[in-house]
Amino acid sequence: MSNLHYLIRAPKITIENTPLLILLHGYGSNEQDLFSFAEELPKELLIVSAQAPFSLGFGSYAWYSINFDDKNGKFSDLKEAKESLDKIAVFIDEIKKKYNTNPDKTFLLGFSQGAILSYSLSFFYPNKVQHVIALSGYINTELLPQTISKDIKTSYYCSHGSVDQVLPIDWARKSKPFLDNLGLQNVYSEYPVGHGVAPQNFYSFKTWIEERL
């Protein structure tokens, strides 16, 4: 059992084998955050917004700790990150089974820390999700398996704010060459915003999702 708390938006159109969209929020947020997108997204989707397991207090949660010290500066707790990855993988399987969703149409959308884990999950658990939407995140090479499967068929939508003050744009820009090098289908775009999602960005990834339904 993953034991992750979640919110759900049922499909507004009933079809057989419903496509599934899982939402993973960023550090210090909660499952309500990205769920605000849900009403504007395609009607046939079952949308599930998961809450991260580590409480920071006052309604804030994290998928893993970000620590600060004098020697190393800012660094991520990779052990916690891997624990969360495994929980998310189990959670996706539980949701697919419980709601009988289309096994070939699973979308994973993450913002910031949620985007970092979305990338990682697609490599640790090849083809568990068919489509990754990574908003304001990057590929953390410390959170990748030693060998990347050559059988991955996942496609990626990657976007970032060009003046992001939390996760530098240079980190995000490495995602496209990394994915290209693996021969994986991907698009990358930048928007003139900070650590957030511009309206144009929202409509862009919404269209990208619609084209894959």
Query: What is the per-residue pLDDT across 99-114, written as a single tens digit (0 to 9) for each?
Result: 999 999 999 999 999 9
CATH topology of domain 6-210: Rossmann fold (3.40.50)
Domain boundaries, the chain: 6-210
The 3-class secondary structure across the chain, one letter per residue, is CCCCCEEEECCCCCCCCCCEEEEECCCCECCHHHHCCHHHCCCCCEEEEECCCEEEECCEEECCCEEEECCCEEEECHHHHHHHHHHHHHHHHHHHHHHCCCCCCEEEEEECHHHHHHHHHHHHCCCCCCEEEEECCCCCHHHCCCCCCCCCCCEEEEEEECCCCCCCHHHHHCHHHHHHHCCCCEEEEEECCCCCCCHHHHHHHHHHHHCCC
pLDDT score recorded for residue 55: 95
pLDDT score recorded for residue 70: 56
pLDDT score recorded for residue 196: 95
pLDDT score recorded for residue 210: 97
Query: What is the per-residue pLDDT across 66-98, written as a single tens digit (0 to 9) for each?
Result: 876 655 566 788 999 999 999 999 999 999 999
Query: What is the per-residue pLDDT across 149-207, written as a single tens digit (0 to 9) for each?
Result: 999 999 999 999 999 999 999 999 999 999 999 999 999 999 999 999 999 999 999 99
pLDDT score recorded for residue 4: 96
